[in-house]
Amino acid sequence: MPWINDYVRSDGTPVKGHSRLPAGARRETALLGLIVAGVIVFGNGTTTAGAGAGSGQELPRPESTVVYPIKWPAWENHQAPLPQPTVSYPIVFPSTGGNR
């Protein structure tokens, strides 16, 4: 939105700075609002909320089918690998001339 600075009208009335919609923006915004309202009002008007809604029958409820703890056959006799060091100590950093 463009910003209009303070100015004085030709009849001497001072006008404070304000923002103003660009030309045609009010009409376009109104049309967009009407289109959105139309989609909300007329969109999905004939669908029902869920299968069998209003028929009076009880709908099935979801049930858990998992059994805990989960067992993997290959993990029964599998041993974890022993940790190996990744570096040899002490680590020596080359000096770049700074004395610390």
Beta bridge partners of 7: 15
Whether 31 is covered by a domain: the verdict is: yes
What phi, psi does 3 have (nearest 5°)?
A: -100, 125
Number of folded domains that form the chain: 1
100, pLDDT greater than 60: no
Residue 47 domain flag: no
Residue 16 falls inside a structural domain: yes
User: Residue 17 falls within a domain, yes or no?
Assistant: yes
Give tens-digit pLDDT for 72-92: 877 777 777 888 888 777 877
Q: What is the domain range of residue 21? A: 1-42
In a domain, 32, yes or no: yes
Q: Does a structural domain hold residue 38? A: yes
Is residue 83 domain-resident? Answer: no
- Structure confidence at residue 79 (pLDDT): 78
pLDDT tens sequence across 5-35: 999 999 999 999 988 888 888 889 999 999 9
